[in-house]
Amino acid sequence: GILQHPDGTVLKQLQPPPRGPREQEFYNKVYDSDCCDSILLELREYLPKYFGVWSPPTAPNDTYLKLEDVTRKFNKPCIMDVKIGQKSYDPYASAEKIQQQVSKYPLMEEIGFLVLGMRVYHVSSDSYETQNQHYGRSLTKETVKDGISKFFHSGYCLRKDVVAASIQKVEKILEWFEGQTQLNFYASSLLFVYEGSCQATTVRLGDVTLAEKRRVPKGLLAGGDVLEYNNNINVINSTENGKIEASVGKGLSKFYALHKKACSKRHHSQLSLKVENSEQDNVWKSSTCITQEHLNGNVLPQLEKVFYHVPAETKESANVEVRMIDFAHVFPSNTRDEGYIYGLKNLITVLQNILDN
């Protein structure tokens, strides 16, 4: 499993040879301070930051990779691990190993990826739903879209803003793969993380726009509507008979994070959520998620229109991370990694289908 260092990084124990040394060599190569290879320098953008190796004082022979905790900045991190590629065995695998890997998920070559696990925060119940690798292996070509869409559902609505942002990030990784012939990746994964909580959302249903901001002072919204902000979720709907307004408060609970294979075991203490705002003071971040408890019945039909017709401007707003992880089977190459590229393209197609439907 993955351990947490007191300084906020995570520790991944080095696997037995040759896998562990190979992964360490990969990180050392990419993060070499003297590296001037533009391909590797760009690759850093898609990996967790690497801080070298670490050994506990009580067990100096145990070696750990010290890595960025990609989930650290999130309040309610929703996490999915997807193995990418048509083959989950490397070119040096024995016939027995090949047979073992193929039998685990015979559809790997056709689908090009495998969901290894997910953990999704449901706003409605203030709890997490967890799926393990058996869930991913149960998905077929016909059910994989619905299987992955479960990761993007808050319990109330499909987070299309997160789907759209995820597509953009996977497309950037695909561009990198299409432009490099140095490395081939086997049994490597993409780690998806997004913010599951909706702390404050304002919906203007008249023109179907959405806005979210962590700290909103009392003031005027566009069109002259007054928003009284009180850490609740506000729905404002202009009608002929006046305004229908509903507010629902949802308290925060402790911070949880996980990584593959440690879904239910690793527990993080509460951490403060960093909110970075590089724009002007009144920049609105968008969200498509809103609590529907106790909302006026007249509002609900119009809320449904909002959930299923996300404005284009919300697509880049979601707080989403997509990082490549697991590099025990990365090998030098002089050709494009067609198996990984195939998997990325298929995954993008599935995500786009989720967004479109």
- Interval 137-173: pLDDT, tens: 999 999 999 999 999 999 999 999 999 999 999 999 9
Encoding tokens for residue 133?
């690798």
pTM of the entire predicted model: 0.70
Paired residues of 259 in beta bridges: none
- Work out whether the CA dihedral 18, 21, 24, 26 comes out positive or negative: negative
Amino acid at 334: N
Q: Which fold has domain 70-198+318-356?
A: D-amino Acid Aminotransferase; Chain A, domain 1 (3.30.470)
In the chain, which segments carry CATH 3.30.470.160? 70-198+318-356
Query: Among all chains, which residue has been given the structure tokens 């048509």?
Result: 86
155 CB contacts (<8 Å, ≥6 apart)? Answer: 122, 123, 124, 125
- What is the spatial distance between Cα 260 and Cα 263, in angstroms, rounded to a whole number? 6
**Helices and strands counted in the chain (H then E):** 9, 17
Q: What is the pLDDT of residues 184-215, one digit of tens each?
A: 999 999 999 999 997 633 333 333 333 333 33
Encode 90-123 in three state secondary structure: CCCCCHHHHHHHHHHCCCHHHHCEEEEEEEEEEC
139-143, 217-221, 261-265 — most confident range? 139-143
Q: Provide the CA 211 distance to its chain's centre, in angstroms.
A: 21
Would the pLDDT of 225 be above 60? no
Query: What does the pLDDT read at residue 1?
Result: 78
Please tell me the distance from the alpha carbon of residue 47 to that of residue 260, in angstroms, as a whole number. Answer: 16
Q: Which residues contact 322 (CB under 8 A, 6 or more apart)?
A: 46, 166, 169, 170, 173, 190, 191, 192, 193
| pLDDT number for residue 177 | 98
What tokens were used for 68? 């960025």
346 has pLDDT over 50:
yes
If you search the block for the tokens 């067990």, which residue do you land on?
A: 59
Give the integer Cα–Cα distance in Å for 241 and 84.
Answer: 54
Q: What percent of the chain has pLDDT over 90?
A: 66
Task: HSE, CB side, 13 Å, CA atoms: give it for residue 355.
Answer: 20
For residue 64, what are the β-bridge partners? 13, 54
Phi, psi of 272, deg, nearest 5:
-75, 140
What average pLDDT does the segment 118-144 reach? 97
Max mean pLDDT range (30-34, 228-232, 264-268): 30-34
pLDDT, mean over the chain: 77
Query: Residue 171 in contact with residue 137, Cβ under 8 Å?
Result: no
**Mean pLDDT computed over 327-337:** 98
